[in-house]
Amino acid sequence: MMKFYICVLGLLMSFVLNAQENKLWYKQPAKQWNEALPVGNGRLGAMVFGGVAHERIQLNEESVWTKGIPYEDKTDGHKYVAKIQQLLFDGEYAAAEKMCKEKLLSGRNPESSTYQTLGDLDIYFEGVDKHSDYRRELNLDSACVTSQFKVNGVKHKRTIFSSAPSQAIVFKAEADKKGQINCRMRFSRRGDGEIVEAIDDILVMKQHINNGRGVKFETRLKLKHKGGTLSIHNNELVVKNADIVEFRLVAATNYSKGDPTEKCLDYLNLNADKTYNQLLQRHYDDYQSFYNRVQLQFNNTSASKLPTDIRLKKQKAGENDPSLAELYFNYGRYLLISSSRPGCLPANLQGIWCDELKPAWFSDYHININAQMNYWPAEITNLSELHVPFLKYIDRLRERGRKTAKAVYGVNGFVAHHRSDVWHFTTPYGAPQYGMWPMGAAWAATHMWDHFVFGKDKQFLKETGYPVMKEAALFLSELMVRNPKSGKWTIGPSASPENVYVSAKGEKGSVVMGAAMDLQIIRHLFNCCIAAAETLQMDADFKKQLEEQLKELTPIKIGADGRILEWSDESLTEASPGHRHISHLYGLFPAGLYNWNSTPEYMKAAQKVIEGRLKNGGGHTGWSRAWMINFYARLLDSQKAWENLVALWTKSTLPNLFDNHPPFQIDGNFGGTAAIAEMLVQSYAGEIHLLPCLPKQLANGKVKGLVVQGGHTLEMVWKNGKVTSATIIAKSKETIPIRMNGVVQKVTLKKGRNVVK
């Protein structure tokens, strides 16, 4: 019996030694924002620097937005659409583009709406200058940031987390000897106009931003201390000789109506009778209800025990660290849980973390890929509810989008272009290469169908998903015209997002009829609408209309060099062969229109596109590189997928693992997370494919909780690149082909656990 216990203990110890701590950790405080660690509850976020004598906590609340000069539609734009289309059919690209700019596109506003920082909380500690044994970490299992160190043998620990059930950021500073905490706290914000005051044990900051043309915000900090004294000096809270210092920080705006002060008081009252440990337990329970749904483990290398910044440096120096994939995957899930919760706004270009008043690209919603990429991992990594804020946001674009569709294009349905903001504008504006692209709503609407096929929420499909998809499809259906040369349906004026061609006349341009991406989006969205109408057993006439148009939709062309053509006219050549957008591969990923079983010619043509882009410097932005990994996952090229994942870490990842465009954009984190999931399981091509694109560097591992289409979840173990056990927990009965270890078998899944043999 004793030998048995020793054996079991040995196995447990082996597991512990091989397991990677799900932590980002460092031996020094953050010196700059890109080294700080994020916390968030979907709405309220912070970047924690972990300073010893000076702790900077940079704050965000998702609705702190300015309200710039509104974009206005060109109300008579629809009068010129047919003329522009004819010019494009005639090859008069420069004339068509000029007319688009003058008649359809609104000018850039001198003042656009933008997301902004809420401000800073600075905490200045006394008597801690000479410290040792410093460690700063973000624990992904608990969603807490801690910093620990010693001063003269006294252990200090500081913990911070952002709690969804408490709607507050909670902080605790403690030491293992009484009377050691001496600090002062103050609020500040860049620019001017904020009002800061200290009242009793409360610190308050409020402002009506953008000179009264943005939201009103307020943030309140309520301080609690054990031992010592509390006083106020120059609107700062000053604590002397305390054993423990805690605070609960809340914030609110008037974005969704209501008084920010009253909201803050309600949030504080929500937590008034709760101890720190109670708040912490509620936070754990809530966060882990999302995070623990998926568990992933790869065989770990010795590098997994090193500080995170050192791991990145070694990876950049060529020292392979395969176990970084596990940490990166879990970090992406952490970021989504922290920046997109039910009832919140969707994650923006920076999630919710932004320290600027004028951030790059306004930290807005770019719906020509970036906002969509934010949600690529939502369904497959079992975080379906976190997808809903984006879906509801697209729904809210309909009111304004209907007006834009009528004014600019003269058709029904709704439209949105390359970007929007929390005020839901849909107007095309600016330069043709980014502004003249009416497919943003259509692409985003396909997420409604993804949400259904992974979650099977028929009520959501009926009440929200299908109505949104239908209106987006109606816009496309009515805007489509027949190409006078081929007789096939096509669409325009449009562009291939942000890219530029050179015409046979040597003129640079962007506007075309029938860009490959547009035709792929049409096919994708129409197929989604048709399937939804069949599922709901409704709208037979509209379904038939879409089916008829699909039959005669212009096919995607493969050029003489074997690549998918980005623009319909092969005489148009690339001005930037290494462009960051690879829009004409939308059909490969995320749409899943192509696969090796039924469309091998397009898979080969897609490979050639990627090779050309990379050869000419493509993938140079973080999100673009993440897209490349997903492409290679769908192409089942495991080593290319791995090489590009490593390139994402070495070229486009900041010390805190944030994605670097540059500057920081969160889409690359989410795209990379989705790609790792795609390496492990795919279910888009009418089958469930286990380990479709597993790199040799990840040859051993296990995963639990990934979701496949149909709403089924997966448990799987593999060794030496082969599945050794697989169980599918089916949501309902379904017969489906399952591809495992090179063999395809048709399996009838019963509701509940199904062992795949």
The predicted model gives 123-130 an average pLDDT of: 96
3-class secondary structure, 469: helix
337-390 per-position pLDDT tens digit: 999 999 999 999 999 999 999 999 999 999 999 999 999 999 999 999 999 999
497-537 per-position pLDDT tens digit: 999 999 999 999 999 999 999 999 999 999 999 999 999 99
List all residues 6 or more positions away from 509 whose beta carbon is below 8 Å from its beta carbon: 93, 94, 97, 432, 500, 501, 503
Report whether pLDDT(74) > 60: yes
- Which H or E run includes 44? strand 44-48
307-333 per-position pLDDT tens digit: 999 999 999 898 888 899 999 999 999
Task: Give yes or no for a contact between 124 and 184, defined as CB atoms under 8 angstroms apart.
Answer: yes
CB burial class (10 A; 0-12, 13-18, 19+) of residue 141? middle
Q: What's the pLDDT at 43?
A: 98
Q: Which residues pair with 186 in a beta bridge?
A: 122
Q: Are strands 236-242 and 365-366 parallel, antiparallel or unpaired?
A: unpaired
Kindly report, as residue ranges, where domains of CATH 2.60.40.1180 are found in the chain: 686-757
Q: What's the pLDDT at 21?
A: 83
d(CA 4, CA 576): 66
Most distant CA atoms of the chain, gap in Å: 88
CB burial class (10 A; 0-12, 13-18, 19+) of residue 206? buried
The predicted model gives 629-635 an average pLDDT of: 98
Q: What's the pLDDT at 300?
A: 76
- pTM for the predicted model, two decimal places: 0.96
Q: How far is CA 729 from CA 242, 711, 749, 752, in A?
A: 52, 9, 9, 5
Weakest mean pLDDT among 87-91, 159-163, 303-307, 615-619 = 303-307
Kindly report, as residue ranges, where domains of CATH 1.50.10.10 are found in the chain: 323-685
Residue with tokens 């600027």: 356
d(CA 677, CA 693): 10
3-class secondary structure, 110: coil
Count CA atoms within 13 Å of residue 535 on its CB side.
Answer: 18
Which ranges in 90-173 belong to alpha helices (H)?
93-99
Kindly report, as residue ranges, where domains of CATH 2.70.98.50 are found in the chain: 24-65+116-292
CA angle 709–606–562, rounded 5-degree value:
150
Task: Give yes or no for a contact between 651 and 666, defined as CB atoms under 8 angstroms apart.
Answer: no
Q: Domain 686-757 carries which CATH code?
A: 2.60.40.1180
Confidence of residue 111 (pLDDT cuts 50, 70, 90): confident
Q: Domain 24-65+116-292 carries which CATH code?
A: 2.70.98.50
Residue with tokens 């078998």: 745
Whole-angstrom distance between the N-terminal and C-terminal Cα of the chain? 34
Q: What's the pLDDT at 629?
A: 98
Report whether pLDDT(14) > 60: no
Report whether pLDDT(6) > 80: no
d(CA 117, CA 190): 8
AA letter at 134: Y
Q: What's the pLDDT at 693?
A: 98
Look up residue 141 and give its two tokens: 């299992």
Q: Which residues pair with 706 in a beta bridge?
A: 714
Q: What's the pLDDT at 120?
A: 98
Q: What's the pLDDT at 19?
A: 58
Q: What's the pLDDT at 303?
A: 81
Report whether pLDDT(739) > 70: yes
Peptide bond into 663 cis (omega under 30): yes
d(CA 447, CA 384): 11
Q: What's the pLDDT at 13?
A: 33
Q: What percent of the chain is predicted at pLDDT more than 90?
A: 93
Task: Give yes or no for a contact between 566 and 499, defined as CB atoms under 8 angstroms apart.
Answer: yes
Q: What's the pLDDT at 319?
A: 87
CATH number (2.40.50.140, 1.20.58.220, 1.50.10.10, 2.30.130.10) of 323-685 reads 1.50.10.10
Other beta carbons less than 10 A from residue 135's beta carbon:
16
Report whether pLDDT(4) > 90: no
Q: How far is CA 53 from the centre of its chain?
A: 34
- DSSP letter string over 217-244? EEEEEEEEEESSEEEEETTEEEEEEESE
Q: What is the helix, strand, coil percentage profile of the chain, to 5?
A: 40, 25, 35
